[in-house]
């Protein structure tokens, strides 16, 4: 077991993971123990089968689970299908390509029905020989991280503005103003950091929110479109078909009957 606190980090052998020795060998390089000293940072590690094998106390609290409920489980065991697809896509990209995914926007649907926004960075875990043996993630709250956002990422105030105001029109000038940059410099820096333009990023956040509403409410599609920043029903339909290959009605029919037992997260 890693560390003194059995609830801080659970060794891979508790999950029956075949890579247990590799994880234990890599744990020193990951600095797992230090993560437990960061109450506003939520840290987790999954093995190559996408089973949770390590986490810090903050992540366990965020999930609303006990160590026994989380260890060895996959997202499929904890969340409904419409959320799992987002997790799986990101995890597999890291596991198969070794990519580092920076500040993925996440919409968190809390148990009480409220919403929070988070950003997650994912990166591969490698053994001593460089082989990928898992995926690690660091998640931070955008809505509850008062006073520290600007210190962590120069672009974070713009991301926070998108997370709060995605339902309305946001110009490059307004987003650039939130971080005290010129529009051209902001657009270049944003593309360099996130690999996409601010407008495409904003459209992705809107789609995340729309998918959540389609899956968890019976609101008319036109109302979902209005609430999430789309011009109309057709605008939402075109975006959803392009991204998911389904119309809003098809998406709702596929996912809305499945409810998450606890916390629900939608990854962008």
d(CA 207, CA 87): 15
34-72 confidence digits (pLDDT tens): 777 778 888 999 999 999 998 888 888 888 888 888 989
Whether residue 175 has pLDDT greater than 60 = yes
Q: Of 237, 40, 232, 9, nearest to 149 (Cα)?
A: 40
Binning pLDDT at 50, 70 and 90, where does residue 259 land?
very low
Of 23-27, 160-164, 178-182, the least confident: 23-27
Q: Percentage of the chain with pLDDT > 70?
A: 73
Whether residue 217 has pLDDT greater than 60 = yes
More confident residue, 26 or 67: 67
Superfamily of domain 12-141: PAS domain (3.30.450.20)
Own/partner pairs for 233-237, CB < 8 Å, 24+ apart? 236/210
The residue extents of the domains of the chain are 12-141, 149-259
What are the DSSP E strand ranges found in the chain? 41-47, 52-55, 101-109, 115-126, 132-141, 264-267
Whether residue 153 has pLDDT greater than 60 = yes
List, in order, residues 6 or more apart from 193 with CB less than 8 Å away: 102, 103, 155
Q: Which residues pair with 42 in a beta bridge?
A: 139
Please tell me if the domain spanning 12-141 has the same topology as the one spanning 149-259: no
List, in order, residues 6 or more apart from 101 with CB less than 8 Å away: 90, 93, 94, 120, 121, 122, 123
Is 175:160 a contact under the CB 8 Å cutoff?
no
104-145 confidence digits (pLDDT tens): 776 665 555 455 677 889 999 998 888 999 999 998 876 655
Q: Which residue has the tokens 């993925």?
A: 104
Question: Would you state the CATH architecture of domain 149-259?
Answer: Orthogonal Bundle (1.10)
Whether residue 162 has pLDDT greater than 70 = yes
**Mean pLDDT of all residues in 217-233:** 93
Q: Which residue has the tokens 């390509």?
A: 97
Alpha-carbon separation of residue 31 from 49, 75, 206 (angstroms):
22, 24, 35
pLDDT for 9 equals 38
d(CA 204, CA 210): 10
Q: What is the pTM of this model?
A: 0.62
pLDDT for 146 equals 47
Query: DSSP code of 162?
Result: H
pLDDT for 48 equals 92
pLDDT for 267 equals 45
Is 143:159 a contact under the CB 8 Å cutoff?
no
72-101 confidence digits (pLDDT tens): 999 888 876 666 777 888 899 999 999 998
**Mean pLDDT of all residues in 138-164:** 70
Sheet holding 41-47, edge to edge: 52-55, 41-47, 132-141, 115-126, 101-109, 264-267
Q: Which residue has the tokens 């160590």?
A: 67
Alpha-carbon separation of residue 24 from 121, 138, 211 (angstroms):
22, 19, 38
Sign of CA dihedral 201, 207, 210, 212: negative
């Amino acid at each position: 077991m890693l560390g003194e606190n059995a609830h801080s980090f659970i060794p891979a052998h508790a999950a029956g993971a075949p890579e247990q020795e590799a994880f234990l060998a890599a744990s020193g390089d990951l600095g797992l123990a230090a993560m437990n000293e960061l109450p506003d940072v939520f840290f987790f590690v999954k093995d190559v089968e996408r089973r949770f094998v390590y986490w810090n106390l903050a992540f366990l609290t965020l999930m609303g689970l006990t160590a026994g409920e989380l260890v060895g489980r996959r997202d499929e065991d904890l969340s409904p299908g419409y959320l799992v697809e987002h997790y799986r896509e990101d995890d597999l990209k890291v596991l198969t390509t070794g990519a580092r995914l920076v500040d993925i926007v996440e919409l968190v649907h809390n148990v009480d029905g409220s919403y929070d926004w988070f950003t997650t960075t994912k990166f591969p875990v490698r053994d001593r020989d460089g082989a990928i043996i898992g995926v690690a993630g660091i998640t931070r709250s955008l809505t509850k991280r008062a006073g520290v956002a600007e210190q962590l990422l120069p672009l974070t105030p713009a991301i926070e503005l998108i997370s709060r105001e995605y339902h309305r029109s946001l110009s490059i000038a307004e987003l650039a103003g939130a971080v005290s940059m010129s529009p051209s410099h902001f657009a270049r820096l944003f593309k360099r950091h996130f690999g996409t333009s601010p407008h495409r990023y904003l459209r992705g956040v809107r789609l995340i929110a729309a998918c959540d509403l389609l899956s968890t409410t019976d609101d008319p599609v036109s109302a979902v479109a209005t609430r999430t920043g789309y011009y109309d029903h057709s605008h939402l339909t075109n975006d959803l078909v392009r991204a998911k290959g389904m119309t809003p009605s098809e998406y709702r029919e596929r996912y809305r009957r499945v409810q998450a037992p606890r916390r629900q997260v939608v990854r962008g």
